[in-house]
């Protein structure tokens, strides 16, 4: 798999750890970032994973710029013979063209219970809205932002004293469980799509392997 990340890369780290511990079989063949200073690239280097900074071309604008940028990314993904593309904090919207190149093979992790709080700063959106529960979602990427078929979800309670930061931190700990688990389910061939509904075929659970976090409600598949 290839991981696309713009920043910190803690979800990338969760995948690296899962891979090194034998929890998942997929290898991360390349990490691509649109920001040369992304911590994600540093993490890749540390684990001897090829890392590529691909910055959108400054000489182009708008759609042409995105198209060229995506072409450059695709070239790298193809070079490394990527099967699955994981968006882990990749702060760009991919065009339908790009997504079509990897049918049902582009995944995203989002720090809210979709379809609530799509887009950026989902945790602040949740705090501002006053919800009692938020959480995280892994899903297939389709033509719209934070919209494709949902694979896994977990609900994280919002505490009265929560700030966007404290809520983000608790959700992030669950993201680090859900993302590798999603990859594992795909490896096991247990993810079945029926329209926009995803069915998880019966099999093992990581609840018996891993510590489940207090108060978190894990949806089907974890």
Question: Of 220, 219, 126, which Cα lies nearest the Cα of 166?
Answer: 126
List the one residue out of 95, 76, 92 whose CA is nearest residue 32. Answer: 76
Q: How far is CA 206 from CA 112, 140, 142, 212, in A?
A: 21, 21, 27, 9
Q: Is 8 in the site for ligand GRF (CB under 6 A)?
A: yes
The reply to whether 106 sits near ligand GRF by the rule CB under 6 A is no
List the structure tokens of 196: 């926009």
Q: How far is the CB of 59 from ligand GRF (least distance, A)?
A: 28
For the range 121-125, what are the long-range contacts, defined as Cβ-Cβ under 8 Å and sequence gap of 24 or more? 121/164, 123/164, 123/167, 123/168, 123/171, 124/164
Does residue 89 bind ligand GRF (CB under 6 A)? yes
If one asks whether residue 10 binds ligand GRF (CB under 6 A), the answer comes out as yes
- With binding defined as CB under 6 A, does residue 88 bind ligand GRF? yes
Candidates 9-17, 156-164, 184-192, 214-222; binding stretch for ligand GRF (CB under 6 A)? 9-17
User: Which residue of the set 69, 110, 139, 176 is catalytic?
Assistant: 110
Q: Is 110 a catalytic residue?
A: yes
> Is residue 39 within 8 Å of 8, Cβ to Cβ?
yes
By CB under 6 A, tell whether 147 contacts ligand GRF.
no
Q: Which residues would be at the binding site for ligand GRF (CB under 6 A)?
A: 5, 7-11, 88-89, 109-111, 172, 175
Hey, which residues are catalytic here?
110
């Amino acid at each position: 798999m290839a991981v696309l990340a713009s920043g910190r890369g803690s979800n990338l780290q969760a995948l690296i750890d899962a891979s090194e511990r034998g929890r998942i079989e997929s290898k991360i063949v390349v990490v691509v970032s649109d920001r040369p200073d992304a911590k994600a690239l540093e993490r890749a280097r540390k684990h001897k994973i090829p890392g590529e900074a691909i910055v959108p071309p400054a000489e182009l604008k708008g759609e042409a710029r995105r198209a060229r940028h995506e072409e450059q990314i695709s070239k790298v993904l193809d070079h490394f013979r990527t099967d699955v593309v994981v968006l882990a904090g990749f702060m760009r919207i991919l065009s339908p063209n790009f997504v079509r190149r990897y049918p049902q093979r582009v995944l995203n992790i989002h720090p809210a219970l979709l379809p609530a709080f799509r887009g950026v700063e989902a945790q602040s959106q949740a705090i501002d809205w006053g919800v009692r529960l938020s959480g995280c979602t892994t899903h297939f990427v389709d033509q719209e932002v934070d919209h494709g078929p949902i694979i896994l979800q977990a609900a994280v309670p919002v505490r009265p004293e929560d700030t966007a930061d404290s809520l983000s931190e608790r959700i992030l700990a669950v993201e680090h469980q859900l993302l590798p688990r999603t990859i594992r389910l795909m490896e096991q061939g247990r993810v079945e799509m029926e329209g926009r509904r995803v069915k998880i075929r019966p099999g093992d659970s990581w609840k018996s392997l891993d510590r489940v976090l207090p108060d978190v409600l894990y949806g089907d598949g974890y």
